[in-house]
Each structure stands twice: as structure tokens, then as C-alpha cells.
């Protein structure tokens, strides 16, 4: 026992003396071949898309050896005990789910997908304290400063110790709705301690960060950020921009991970790690994996993902890593591979916390424990540089990463036991068969997943086959453009369709669209209902350089009023104007919003019917050239507003007024009021009683404003009512206008 205490004391002293960091540099970087470089200054990250990163004013890597990772030692490591939300691509954020919102239309006019609100524990790293995320991308929630033990899919642990095993889990307004053998159990979000959700069937879909990436010759296309508080976010390089510094507000990095509903803003000075990988590479740590341990050591060290077994960052002699595994000898990790896996590239070595006493052997096996040995090391000792592993893994269904206890023939200088055999697998990356940079609209449905405005719209199989999605940065943030690919001179275009039951509440359609700024074929959008074009002021919506460069949007309003009470098939036809060889211009659909057509209708949803029609009265003053007849404007045109035609009422020009004698039996004046089609200018309606101001509309009736049901109570004792149309342009329709005796 005395010998054991002395040995442990010597080990502790060795750790204190030998666990020293690199030189006192502000930045450390590693290249894809494993070389380490360090410096004091770095060019600002992502000032311009594709900008080459420079360390001490020298390019960091090149096309043959691009940067792998940038480490900022001066940014503190403040990782908390959680709670954490983990996503299907392996990203995590320190925070907890606090709210859920169903899919809906938001106040900005764009459709909004179903989303969860995560309140961040790491708010100091982000501009905002909350972020909206996609429910289908949540893989696990947990508490603690280390990766928790594996939890069976569908298992939920609560803070009061309950364990709920569910066949299916969905999110709702009350929290988690868990379908168990005994029924549905609802757990509020603040009751959750640990929960594991079903993974996506396709592991490549779970880690689809590379869908929107574009490899630059000197900079790989997929970027992963780790903040001071431990948040990890991954996205394609095309979905990163640096916001301008304004007044006293510091610049921020805007990033869009695949699990986020909208862009997140990170403070650059809170980034502890930035790492890069090519668009056809996949972190092994993001794939399904299992641990197995056979160690006989006095202490059992649990494997850790992205940390060493002591919970610190992965660091071997000459290399550090933000991604990988920390294990103790006698541990194996089995990782399932996708069918198109081609190569493995990683490093393995003794963690720096082992000092110079640890010793182990490492192997990579094919498919299963006991399978074919694809690679094996000699003795790896503490203080040695990690071994590089490069393997062809085509045809492998799984890989087993093994660290063995090297007891037999243990080299001189190594500890006699395996107390300090702490081993790290650093930057384990899998190369998969290279895919297109841009994905087909057929690959990831529904379209509303990427373009919320198109929620519910579908493309035909033929149109999906010749359409791709492309990311673009606009003045409103990141959008995804729909790009019809065709070289036909007479191209009919592509068509998006959606079935809708039309009511007054959704009979107005607002469309906002533009071009993604790529010089190429321009389009125009025709909106149809049941195969017939809907009329719109100024015709179809052009999508060209004059209306859509970098997110400048054109807008149109359409009425579905004649279809109220029917089911309609809405169609958006993207029709090319002409063929231009070269790049195809992409269409940004920013809003396709169905909204209220006529405001202030009664609960029945029907217009109020006057007992006495306005045009059946005899005005006290009327222009000699005016027509005063049912269903006609004063210049003998039809009464049409918002594509609704009225058989009773009139339309008065802006700047005019007309005075009607009042019958004492009349209690109310009613009318459906709106600008006459086609829209022109704006008009404000006011009412005078006996020449004195009595009532005025809330705002002008103009293009973009809804029509409204007027219901004005007339106090007794007045002899005349004057309708006055203010402002100088256009006509105001007063449909079904007249007086009611009740």
C-alpha cells in the first residue's frame, strides 16, 4: 500500500510538471496534413465570401494543404453543466427548450415552419438570448458537463426521477407528448432532464451541413464554430456573413446551421474554435456509434466525445482537436458507415494529460469487433506525436476504433500499469462519394423545409427533376432560391401547386419574389386558380435583374374573392422570359401569403344587406355628368374591388363629395368599401352629419390595403349625411351601400 501511495504521488507530480501548453500565442492552427502553426494576429473571419484567412499576414495553408482548425487559447473555456440541446448533425447549444410554435403565417407575411424556441445559457456568445430551431433536427437534450451515457431512443428522464419510455414523441404547446403503452403522457419542457429522440434513418441526411457548401481552392466549404460557453454550430461557407459594425454595436457573424429556422449571430471574439472540412467529408463523431470497454484498471474512464476522459479538450503532443473521442485503453468505438463511404483520415495519440507515462496500441477493424485489421500501430507513448491514419474503407459497413492495453512487452519508461493510458482519436473524418454542390428540389421534401413561403406547395415529378435549390444572401438574410434548369428556347416553365379551401379569411394572396442576383435567364410568375390566371394590378410578377438583385423584391396582390366557399387549386407558374446560355437565374420566393380580403365582416362572414340602397335615394348635390344607378360607378363603370363585383352601390372619385337627405327611420349606414379595380392611388372616406365632421376611416384605401365592411351608427336628429372622398386619385367603391332601419 505504501508503494502504491508513493507511485500515485509520483504520477501527480509528473502531470503537474509535464502538462504544459504550447507557446504563448494568441492563435494556434493546424493544416489538413497535421502541421501546427501559431501567430499573434489573424485576418477577420468572413469579411468577404471566400476570403483567404491569414495568420500574421501570411496565408493560412494553400489549395494542397488547406487549414483544418483555428484555436484561440485566449478565449476562455467556460463550458457549463447544461442543460444542452443536441441536434442530428452533432451540433449542441447550451440552453433549454422553452416554447413551441406550430406552422403558421407570421406578421412579416412569410409562412413560418413548426419551430421550437431554445433559451440560451450561452447568451453572452450570441447576439440574441433565444433561437428558433426545427423540431425534426433535435436529437437529444441532457444536463451535465460531459456527454451522458447512451439513452434508448424514445426514453425521457424527468427532473423528479421519472422514466418515460415512448413509442413516439412529438412536440406541442404543452411540452413533449409521449405515446406510451398506457396512453399519452404530456411532460412540460421545464420537467425534462434527459431525452433521446429517434435519429434520422439516413445518417448523411442527419449531417447535411455540406448541402449548401462550396469548397474554395484555399478554404474548405463546411465550417464549425465552438464558442466560449461550448455551443457548436456547423454550416456551409455560403451561409456565413459578417455583419457591419454600427455605432457601438460590434460586428457579428451570421450563420445558418441546417437545424436553425433563421440565422444566428455570433460574437467573433467569443469563438474558441473554428474548424473546416470539405463538403464531401463527414465527421465520424456525427454518425451512429457504440462504445465497448474491457479495461481492468482500478478506475473506469468513460469514453468522451469531443473531450478527453477527464472532460478537457483533446490535446496530444503537437496537435489539439475540437472533434474526436477521448478514451482509456481497453476501449473500442464501433461506428456505422453510410454506403458511399470511401476514406478515413484521423490521428491517434496519448492525451497530454497522460504526461510521458501512458502507453497503448491502436487498431482500426473492419465491420465488427474481431474483424479484419485495416490498420494498427506500434506502441504509442505519452509525449509522442500522434499517429496519422489514412485508410480506404470502401465496402465497409462499420469501423471499429480500438485502443488496447499494451501490457505485454511494455516499453521502458512507461507506467507499469495503465493508469495514465488516456488516448485521443483526433479529427476523425470520413470521405464520402462527392455529391452535387446544389441539391435537387426532389431530394429534400417538402419545399417548405427550405423555403417557408412555399409550405404546402408541390412540384410535379418532371419539374422536380429539373429544379435545384441554391442559397443566396439577401438584404433580409439568407434565402434559398428555386432554380429551374432548362436550355429550351420555348420553355413552359415550372409549376408549384397547392389545394386551398377559400374563405374570406384567406381570399387575398400577396406574392413577393425576386431574382437571386445570378446573371442568367429571367422569369415572370403567373398566379392561377383552377387553371385560370388571377388578375393583378400591373399583370404578372417579373423576376429579373431590375426587381430581384440581391434580394430586392417585386410584389403583387391577387384576389380569390370569386372563389369564396370553394376548394381551389392554386398554381404559381415560373415562366422564363427568354433563353440565355450560361447560368440560370434563381427565383427567391419571399412570401406567398393568404390573408383577409374584406375586414370587419360580421361573424356570419357575409356582407350586410341594406334595407334602402344608397342609389335609390335622391342626392341634394350631384354632378350633372354623373350616373346615379344601381351597380354603377358615377362614370358608368362596374363596381369591382378586390375582384369582387357588387350589384348595388356606387363608386365616387377622389376629391368628390355627395350629400344624401336622411330619413329619421334610418339607424345605420353600411357599405363594403375599397379602391376600384384596377387600383389607383389612395382614398380616405369621411362622413359629415349636417355639415359637421362625424366619422373618418382608420386609414386610406389603397393598393395593399384590405377592403372593409362599413357599419356606421347614425344618431337621431340629423337631416343630411355627406360622403367625402379625400385625396386626389382613383375611385372608391361603396358596394352594397345603403341604410338599415335596425
User: So what's the pLDDT on residue 529?
Assistant: 94
Dump pLDDT digits (tens) for 43-59. 878 776 667 889 999 99
The residue among 614 and 247 whose pLDDT is bigger is 614
- CA–CA gap between residue 238 and residue 577 (Å, rounded): 28
- CA–CA gap between residue 585 and residue 573 (Å, rounded): 15
pTM of the model: 0.79
User: So what's the pLDDT on residue 581?
Assistant: 67
**Strand pairing of 130-133 and 104-105?**
unpaired
Q: Which of 454, 516, 515, 463 is nearest to 492 (CA)?
A: 463
The residue among 38 and 5 whose pLDDT is bigger is 38
The residue among 193 and 20 whose pLDDT is bigger is 193
Q: What is the chain's mean pLDDT, rounded?
A: 84
3-class secondary-structure state, position 320? strand
Dump pLDDT digits (tens) for 461-488. 889 888 888 888 777 777 888 988 877 7
**Mean pLDDT of the 84-93 span:** 92
Adjacent-strand bridge partners of 335: 289, 399
Dump pLDDT digits (tens) for 291-319. 998 765 545 788 999 999 998 999 999 89
Adjacent-strand bridge partners of 163: 157
With b for 16 or more beta-carbon neighbours within 10 A and e for fewer, the 225-262 pattern comes to bbbbbbbbbbbbbbbbbbeeeeeeeebbbbbbbbbbbe
Residue 294 CB: number of other CB atoms within 10 A?
12
Q: Are 452 and 113 in contact (CB under 8 A)?
A: yes
Cell of 198: 429517434
DSSP letter for each residue of 382-419? TTSPPEEEEEE-TT-SEEEEEEEE--TTPPTTS-SSST
- CA–CA gap between residue 287 and residue 206 (Å, rounded): 8
How many percent of the chain have pLDDT more than 90?
Answer: 47
Cell of 11: 504520477
- CA–CA gap between residue 539 and residue 553 (Å, rounded): 16
Cell of 680: 389607383
400 CB-near residues (< 8 Å, 6+ apart): 332, 333, 334, 335, 363, 364, 365, 366, 367, 368, 369, 371
- CA–CA gap between residue 424 and residue 324 (Å, rounded): 7
CA 686 to chain CA centroid, nearest Å = 46
Q: Are 253 and 116 in contact (CB under 8 A)?
A: no
**Mean pLDDT of the 349-371 span:** 91
Q: Which of 524, 492, 517, 526 is nearest to 586 (CA)?
A: 517
What's phi and psi for 665, nearest 5 deg?
-80, -15
User: So what's the pLDDT on residue 426?
Assistant: 97
3-class secondary-structure state, position 208? helix
Which of the residue ranges 226-230, 353-357, 584-588 has the most confident prediction, judged by mean pLDDT?
A: 226-230
Dump pLDDT digits (tens) for 419-443. 788 999 999 999 988 765 566 776 6
User: So what's the pLDDT on residue 204?
Assistant: 60
Q: Are 84 and 139 in contact (CB under 8 A)?
A: no
User: So what's the pLDDT on residue 1?
Assistant: 39
User: In degrees to the nearest 10, what's the CA dihedral of 195, 199, 204, 209?
Assistant: -30
How many percent of the chain have pLDDT more than 70?
Answer: 87
Q: Are 159 and 267 in contact (CB under 8 A)?
A: no
Q: Are 323 and 224 in contact (CB under 8 A)?
A: yes
Adjacent-strand bridge partners of 92: 86, 232
Q: Are 591 and 508 in contact (CB under 8 A)?
A: no
Q: How many residues does the chain have?
A: 742
H or E segment at 427? strand 422-432
User: So what's the pLDDT on residue 105?
Assistant: 56
**Mean pLDDT of the 103-110 span:** 53
Dump pLDDT digits (tens) for 649-691. 999 998 899 999 999 999 999 999 988 876 666 678 899 999 9
- The yes-or-no verdict on residue 25 having pLDDT over 90 is no
Q: Are 159 and 193 in contact (CB under 8 A)?
A: yes
pLDDT band at 366 (very low <50, low <70, confident <90, very high): very high
Q: Are 180 and 165 in contact (CB under 8 A)?
A: yes
- CA–CA gap between residue 587 and residue 105 (Å, rounded): 21
Dump pLDDT digits (tens) for 526-574. 999 999 998 765 567 877 654 434 446 788 888 899 999 999 999 999 9
User: So what's the pLDDT on residue 91?
Assistant: 93
**Mean pLDDT of the 187-207 span:** 79
pLDDT band at 324 (very low <50, low <70, confident <90, very high): very high
Q: Which of 334, 364, 306 is nearest to 145 (CA)?
A: 306
User: So what's the pLDDT on residue 20?
Assistant: 37
**Mean pLDDT of the 587-601 span:** 89
Cell of 81: 453543466
Q: Which of 618, 629, 613 is nearest to 666 (CA)?
A: 613
User: So what's the pLDDT on residue 295?
Assistant: 62
**Mean pLDDT of the 236-242 span:** 84
Amino acid at each position: 500500500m505504501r508503494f502504491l501511495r508513493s507511485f500515485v504521488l509520483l504520477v501527480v507530480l509528473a502531470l503537474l510538471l509535464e502538462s504544459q501548453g504550447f507557446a504563448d500565442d494568441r492563435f494556434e492552427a493546424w493544416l489538413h496534413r497535421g502541421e501546427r502553426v501559431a501567430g499573434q494576429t489573424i485576418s477577420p473571419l468572413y469579411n468577404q465570401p471566400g476570403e483567404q484567412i491569414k495568420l500574421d499576414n501570411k496565408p493560412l495553408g494553400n489549395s494542397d494543404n488547406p487549414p483544418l482548425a483555428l484555436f484561440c487559447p485566449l478565449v476562455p473555456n467556460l463550458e457549463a453543466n447544461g442543460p444542452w440541446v443536441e441536434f442530428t448533425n452533432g451540433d449542441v447549444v447550451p440552453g433549454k427548450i422553452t416554447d413551441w410554435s406550430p406552422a403558421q403565417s407570421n406578421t412579416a407575411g412569410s409562412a413560418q415552419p413548426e419551430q421550437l424556441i431554445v433559451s440560451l445559457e450561452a447568451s453572452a456568445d450570441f447576439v440574441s438570448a433565444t433561437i428558433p430551431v426545427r423540431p425534426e433536427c433535435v436529437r437529444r437534450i441532457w444536463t451535465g458537463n460531459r456527454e451522458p451515457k447512451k439513452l434508448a431512443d424514445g426514453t425521457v428522464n424527468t427532473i423528479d426521477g421519472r422514466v418515460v419510455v415512448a413509442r413516439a414523441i412529438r412536440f406541442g404547446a404543452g411540452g413533449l407528448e409521449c405515446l406510451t403503452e398506457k396512453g399519452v403522457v404530456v411532460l412540460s419542457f421545464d420537467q425534462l432532464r434527459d431525452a433521446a429522440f429517434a435519429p434520422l434513418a439516413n445518417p448523411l441526411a442527419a449531417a447535411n451541413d455540406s448541402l449548401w457548401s462550396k469548397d474554395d481552392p484555399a478554404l474548405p466549404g463546411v465550417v464549425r464554430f465552438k464558442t466560449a460557453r461550448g455551443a457548436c454550430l456547423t454550416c456551409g461557407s455560403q451561409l456565413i456573413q459578417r455583419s457591419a459594425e454600427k455605432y457601438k454595436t460590434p460586428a457579428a457573424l451570421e450563420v445558418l446551421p441546417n437545424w436553425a429556422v433563421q440565422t444566428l449571430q455570433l460574437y467573433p471574439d467569443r469563438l474558441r474554435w473554428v474548424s473546416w472540412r470539405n463538403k464531401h467529408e463527414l465527421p465520424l463523431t456525427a454518425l451512429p456509434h457504440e462504445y465497448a470497454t474491457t479495461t481492468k484498471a482500478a478506475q473506469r474512464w468513460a469514453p468522451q466525445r469531443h473531450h478527453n476522459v477527464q472532460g478537457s479538450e483533446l490535446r496530444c503532443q503537437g496537435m489539439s482537436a475540437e472533434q474526436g473521442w477521448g478514451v482509456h485503453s481497453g476501449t473500442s468505438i464501433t461506428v456505422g458507415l453510410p454506403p458511399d463511404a470511401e476514406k478515413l483520415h484521423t490521428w491517434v495519440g496519448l492525451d497530454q494529460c497522460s504526461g510521458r507515462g501512458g502507453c497503448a496500441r491502436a487498431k482500426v477493424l473492419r465491420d465488427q469487433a474481431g474483424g479484419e485489421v485495416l490498420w494498427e500501430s506500434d506502441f504509442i507513448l505519452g509525449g509522442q506525436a500522434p499517429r496519422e491514419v489514412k485508410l480506404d474503407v470502401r465496402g465497409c459497413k462499420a469501423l471499429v476504433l480500438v485502443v488496447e492495453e499494451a501490457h505485454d512487452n511494455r516499453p521502458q519508461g512507461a507506467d507499469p500499469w495503465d493508469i495514465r493510458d488516456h488516448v485521443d482519436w483526433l479529427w476523425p473524418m470520413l470521405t464520402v462519394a462527392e455529391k452535387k454542390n446544389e441539391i435537387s428540389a426532389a431530394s429534400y421534401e417538402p419545399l417548405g423545409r427550405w423555403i417557408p413561403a412555399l409550405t404546402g406547395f408541390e412540384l410535379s415529378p418532371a419539374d422536380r427533376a429539373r429544379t435545384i435549390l441554391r442559397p443566396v444572401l439577401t438584404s433580409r438574410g439568407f434565402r434559398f432560391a428555386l432554380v429551374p434548369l432548362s436550355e429550351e428556347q420555348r420553355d413552359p416553365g415550372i409549376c408549384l401547386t397547392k389545394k386551398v379551401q377559400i374563405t374570406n379569411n384567406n381570399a387575398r394572396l400577396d406574392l413577393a419574389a425576386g431574382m437571386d442576383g445570378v446573371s442568367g435567364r429571367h422569369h415572370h410568375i403567373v398566379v392561377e386558380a383552377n387553371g385560370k390566371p388571377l388578375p393583378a394590378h400591373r399583370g404578372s410578377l417579373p423576376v429579373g435583374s431590375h426587381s430581384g438583385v440581391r434580394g430586392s423584391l417585386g410584389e403583387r396582390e391577387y384576389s380569390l374573392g370569386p372563389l369564396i366557399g370553394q376548394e381551389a387549386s392554386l398554381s404559381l407558374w415560373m415562366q422564363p422570359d427568354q433563353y440565355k446560355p450560361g447560368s440560370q437565374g434563381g427565383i427567391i420566393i419571399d412570401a406567398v401569403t393568404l390573408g383577409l380580403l374584406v375586414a370587419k365582416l360580421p361573424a356570419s362572414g357575409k356582407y350586410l344587406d341594406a334595407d334602402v340602397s344608397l342609389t335609390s335615394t335622391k342626392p341634394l348635390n350631384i354632378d350633372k355628368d354623373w350616373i346615379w344607378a344601381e351597380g354603377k360607378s358615377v362614370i358608368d363603370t362596374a363596381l369591382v374591388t378586390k375582384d369582387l363585383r357588387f350589384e348595388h352601390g356606387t363608386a365616387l372619385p377622389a376629391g368628390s363629395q355627395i350629400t344624401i337627405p336622411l330619413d329619421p327611420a334610418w339607424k345605420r349606414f353600411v357599405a363594403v368599401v375599397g379602391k376600384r379595380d384596377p387600383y389607383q392611388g389612395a382614398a380616405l372616406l369621411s362622413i359629415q352629419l349636417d355639415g359637421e365632421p362625424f366619422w373618418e376611416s382608420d386609414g386610406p384605401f389603397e393598393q395593399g390595403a384590405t377592403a372593409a365592411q362599413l357599419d356606421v351608427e347614425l344618431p337621431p336628429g340629423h337631416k343630411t349625411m355627406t360622403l367625402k372622398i379625400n385625396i386626389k386619385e382613383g375611385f372608391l367603391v361603396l358596394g352594397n351601400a345603403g341604410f338599415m332601419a335596425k
